Homo-oligomer: A and B are copies of this chain.
Amino acid sequence: MVPRYTRPQMAEIWSPEARYRIWFEIEALAAEAMAELGTIPAEAARAIREGGTRKTANITTADVDRIDEIERVTRHDVIAFLTWLGEGIGEHARYMHQGMTSSDVLDTCLAVQMTRAADLLIADVEAVMAALRARALEHKYTPTIGRSHGIHAEPTTFGLKLAGHYVEFARNLDRLKAARAEVATCAISGPVGTFASVDPRVEAHVANHLGLAVEPVSTQVIPRDRHAAFFCALAVVAGAVERLATEVRHLQRSEVREAEEFFHAGQKGSSAMPHKRNPVLSENLTGLARLVRGYAFPALENITLWHERDISHSSVERVIGPDSTIALDFALMRLAGMMEKLTIYSERMEENLESLGGVVHSQKVLLALTQAGLSREGSYAAVQKAAMETWLGLGKADARRFAENLLAVPEVAARMDAGALSAAMDPQRDFRHVDTVFARVFGTP
């Protein structure tokens, strides 16, 4: 992933140094288990753990370069690493990796990396939720227009809008936790998963120390349906990022102006037009969501490996493992910051709410009319007639508001007077269940 969208804590998980540290840990743990089982000498396990002349707790860029150099001959990454490590350990090195296959190391390492990445993403989503919760409570009763199809529908509150996004992220928190569990397995089962030359208790030992479950059936590799499910979960989370970002983009439109991304001192919106204040963060999030969605596709194709395994998944994962988690991590933290600092224009929300002459109360009038005995079809026709007149008059000098137009319809006038209409259209009716919904989302206060 390009540096621009990379946070160091996520990048570190995917660094070669981190990867080799995990590889070492797996080999050392496996050797210890084998020593305990009597398969290899105890001093061999100790020698492997100590790493000889290798500083395994602090693998450096120079070490990485040396391993890469060996790989250019062996054309095999794990053998290159084992060669490098073996040179440092000496004699006892021949007890390393006994009965294991490269994938035992690679796939278990990937499991460690993906669970660490998931932990960061989980914390990110919690940060987004915290920001949403704070702003939702702050604006629990800030009236704003609800829109369907981009058209004013009925009043709602800005807090309710945010509560909906909050609860979507809460679902995504659960999905990420499930996705983490999907990939948190360890395989040390040998070339075709038969444990032909390695005892299943070695696997159990390594799994246990790495906080992983044992993979029930590995066929050289950990099956890739797990990883596919993981990357799909990320794609669903990215969808939530995009939905909220799109909301902000709409609210910041020049004609709407109900909210605005924080505009920094010194910030310039356009090289040409000094007046611009653009929702560039949320547009950026929209693009990042597309990327994360796109990465799910090769992950789904990776499921179908040939027989006990082929290595086609590897190049895909070398790229999307880091890229998908890094992009989503960045997006989530950018979103959290953006929502914390979002400027919210509640006065403008009120203005917009009123801007259509009151037609947004049409359903409440419709119901009052049916309650007053007019048929549903008759009520609908009467209210639609008054609403359309109001709508078409918008912005005209002699325009009448919805209430006036309603009273001009005989079917309405016969059943309701101005007072009844005003009572029916009381916006407070729209907010009476806000508390119920907030209790569902945030619990009872």
Contact = CB atoms under 8 A, between A and B. Distances in A.
Contacts of A399: none
Contact of A298 (B172, B284, B294, B356): B294
- Top 9 A-B pairs ranked by shortest CB distance? A146-B192, A239-B303, A275-B387, A287-B315, A149-B278, A290-B298, A275-B359, A274-B384, A195-B433
A235 interface: yes
| Copies of this chain in the oligomer | 4
Nearest to A323: B319
Given A153-B308, A250-B306, 17 more contacts: A76-B267, A86-B377, A100-B272, A151-B278, A194-B433, A195-B436, A195-B437, A216-B437, A225-B243, A229-B232, A239-B303, A254-B355, A278-B311, A284-B311, A287-B302, A291-B316, A301-B301
Contacts of A228: 235-236, 239
A273 B430 contact: no
A7 interface: no
Interface string A296-325: 111011111111111111111011101100
A239 B434 CA distance: 39
Contacts of A232: 229, 232-233, 235-236, 296
Interface in A351-373: 351-352, 355-356, 359-360, 362-364, 366-367, 370
A173 to B, nearest CB: 12
Contact of A2 (B91, B150, B318, B374): B318
A200 B275 contact: no
B217 A167 contact: yes
Interface centre among A271, A314, A364, A367 (most CB of B within 10 A): A271
A285 to B, nearest CB: 8
Nearest to A78: B271
Given A150-B253, A164-B223, A384-B275, A312 B284 contact: yes
Interface centre among A148, A268, A390 (most CB of B within 10 A): A148
A337 interface: no
Interface in A153-200: 153-156, 160-161, 163-164, 167-168, 171-172, 175, 178, 190-197, 200
B148 A308 contact: yes
Interface in A213-254: 214, 216-220, 223-226, 228-229, 232-233, 235-236, 239-240, 242-243, 246-247, 249-250, 252-254
A38 B81 CA distance: 66
Nearest to A3: B68
Contacts of A360: 273, 275
Given A154-B192, A268-B76, A242 B303 contact: yes
A295 B295 CA distance: 8
A288 interface: yes
B437 A217 contact: yes
Nearest to A301: B290
Interface centre among A100, A151, A155, A434 (most CB of B within 10 A): A151
Contacts of A116: none
Nearest to A80: B268
Contact of A242 (B76, B155, B304): B304
Contact of A168 (B2, B225, B310): B225
Nearest to A287: B315
B376 A156 contact: no
B307 A148 contact: yes
